[in-house]
Amino acid sequence: MSIEHPSFGKLDPNRIIIFDTTLRDGEQSPGFSMNLTEKLRMAEALAELGVDVIEAGFPIASPGDFESVKAIAESLGQRDDTPVICGLARSGREDVMAAAEAVRPAKRKRIHSFISTSALHMKYKLRMEPDEVLQAVTDSVTLARQHTDDVEWSAEDGTRTEDDFLCRCVEAAIKSGATTINIPDTVGYALPEDMARIFTMVLTRVPGADKVVLSTHNHNDLGLAVANTLAAIGVGVRQIESTINGIGERAGNASLEEAVMAMRTRSDRIPLTNGVKTRNLLKVSKLLSTITGFDVQPNKAIVGRNAFAHEAGIHQDGVLKNAATYEIMTPDSVGWTKSNLVLGKHSGRAAFRDKLTTLGYQVGDNQLNVAFRRFKDIADRKKVVYDEDIVALVDDEVMRDHERIRFVSLDVHCGSKAPPRAALELEVDGVTKSATAHGDGPVDATFRAIQQVFPHTANLVLFSVGAVTEGTDAQAKTTVRLEEAGKMVDGQGADTDTIVASARAYIHALNKLLVKRARTEPRALSA
Ligand code: MN
């Protein structure tokens, strides 16, 4: 039987709806917060990847969250081929109204409301009686339906909810007009067999469950998020919620790239389709790493540096004779290609702008000028300039031109003879300021100079250095994590000079902290 869906029309029963929550569940986890510009870029990349629904944020959580969901609805959401733009809400009236208001501009929109249904959560977290929770389900879904036809309802902690009560809540949500029913494994507790049992139960016991889209949302606390996702679609679930690189609360969510490639590679056992263009997977994964400053582990399936690297001689020999001997999917199919040699020092402005466009950047003339100057500078210092170098410099410079503190220059003396000394110039709110400092090493001296120019109380809790590409002339990519009054931010910097990259990362983190200070409301816990 096929389902008539408000956003997708008559649904092909073999089509899986890909719901991406990188910008919501992913973004709310420590170290992965993104600013408005970064969220817009991720949303564009997700749309290009071919996801069906983008959960763009949690509008009530903070003014910044509200603005970013609205901005995505106003830009991406205006295109004819836009994914559905979704906003999350708890069950209260204000929550639902904030979500409704934020997604309103989008051509295709969804409100996603949730409430905890497990005995444990109802008693200790909500302090509500089951009947009150049931009423809240009806009220929130009814209210949401007054603002969109496409409404999703989630039973938070659904996999630890008592069977009869779960069925009653799902029934209430469907009767009130929910068109997607999501049963999250919020705490990452379920086994694949639990998922199969719960969804089969809902389908057989709840009237109308076969007329809505069932959805699965899995956390990876036991490393089972993708396995649980596949178990759910095996019994008729047709929407999967996942994130790029598997980011999300605690151990993260089901990884989109893994779930999609499992479906594609094992289509013999999972004869279902989806709209993801798998060749874009690596690109989106790298974009997220660049924005957040966190690379995936080398052995990460699909997108890790070693995912297609064959080290054992016997394996290499086999792959050279016939790749299928040790490769179940081709590197090409998920976007692994050799780095492109892009531009040289003689490349012109037009070629540079073209390159930025193909890399997914829309820049104004001023931003182009700034980026082009920086590119020329790198082209002078580096033998070859790769796509990754361009991405690093644009992210580092152009995407931050609205920030209060800006890097101007740095002169460092270090070595084994004299104590390291850093002379630094920054622009703070448009005024150039400078300082000179000594330190235990060149990075320490530089960070002390920043402290002198812009006094602050944040503590440095993480400092890491990586390389953008290979070779000794590669740009350094640095991450600095600062902590202030329990708030944590990560900053990134890139430069052929490691110390300059470190200064840029520190300044980026400071700017993020200034933005975060402005956020007053606590971010709510959620499904
Ligand atoms: Mn979650």
Closest-CA residue to 399 (of 302, 264, 508): 508
Assess whether 286 and 359 both reside in one domain. Answer: no
Assess whether 233 and 146 both reside in one domain. Answer: yes
Mean pLDDT for 172-193 is: 98
Whole-number Å distance, alpha carbon 253 to ligand 1 midpoint, is 7
Whole-number Å distance, alpha carbon 395 to ligand 1 midpoint, is 28
User: Which of 275, 292, 309 corresponds to the end of one domain?
Assistant: 292
Assess whether 225 and 283 both reside in one domain. Answer: yes
Whole-number Å distance, alpha carbon 270 to ligand 1 midpoint, is 25
Residue recorded with tokens 């949730």: 114
DSSP state of 121: I
* 489-501: burial string, b at 16+ Cβ within 10 Å, e else: bbbbbbbbebbbb
Q: Rounded distance, CA 50 to CA 38, Å?
A: 19
Whole-number Å distance, alpha carbon 156 to ligand 1 midpoint, is 9
Whole-number Å distance, alpha carbon 484 to ligand 1 midpoint, is 26
Mean pLDDT for 152-181 is: 98
Q: How high is the pLDDT of residue 516?
A: 73
Whole-number Å distance, alpha carbon 128 to ligand 1 midpoint, is 21
Contact present, 382 and 389 (Cβ < 8 Å)? yes
Assess whether 455 and 371 both reside in one domain. Answer: no
Whole-number Å distance, alpha carbon 505 to ligand 1 midpoint, is 29
Least confidently predicted of 33-47, 71-85, 159-173, 203-217? 33-47
Whole-number Å distance, alpha carbon 186 to ligand 1 midpoint, is 5
Whole-number Å distance, alpha carbon 333 to ligand 1 midpoint, is 29
Q: How high is the pLDDT of residue 525?
A: 41
Assess whether 462 and 497 both reside in one domain. Answer: yes
Assess whether 47 and 78 both reside in one domain. Answer: yes
Assess whether 384 and 410 both reside in one domain. Answer: no
Residue 526 belongs to a domain: no
* Ion ligand 1 residue ranges (Cβ < 5 Å): 25
Contact present, 392 and 471 (Cβ < 8 Å)? no
Assess whether 394 and 463 both reside in one domain. Answer: no
For residue 271, the enclosing domain spans 11-292
Quick one: pLDDT band at residue 520, thresholds 50, 70, 90?
very low
Q: How many CB atoms lie within 10 A of CB 250?
A: 12
User: Which of 398, 430, 464 corresponds to the end of one domain?
Assistant: 398
Helix (H) or strand (E) holding 495: strand 487-495
Closest-CA residue to 179 (of 219, 142, 212, 207): 212
Residue 302 belongs to a domain: no
Tell me the three state secondary structure of residue 339.
coil
What is the tally of structural domains in the chain? 3
Q: How high is the pLDDT of residue 523?
A: 44
Assess whether 189 and 231 both reside in one domain. Answer: yes
Q: Per-residue pLDDT tens for 413-464?
A: 999 998 999 999 999 999 999 999 999 999 999 999 999 999 999 999 989 8
Whole-number Å distance, alpha carbon 249 to ligand 1 midpoint, is 6
Least confidently predicted of 284-298, 331-345, 353-367, 465-479? 331-345
Helix (H) or strand (E) holding 444: helix 442-453
Q: Is 50 exposed, middle or buried (0-12, 13-18, 19+ CB in 10 A)?
A: middle
Assess whether 49 and 84 both reside in one domain. Answer: yes
Whole-number Å distance, alpha carbon 217 to ligand 1 midpoint, is 7
Q: Per-residue pLDDT tens for 125-137?
A: 999 999 999 999 9
Whole-number Å distance, alpha carbon 246 to ligand 1 midpoint, is 11
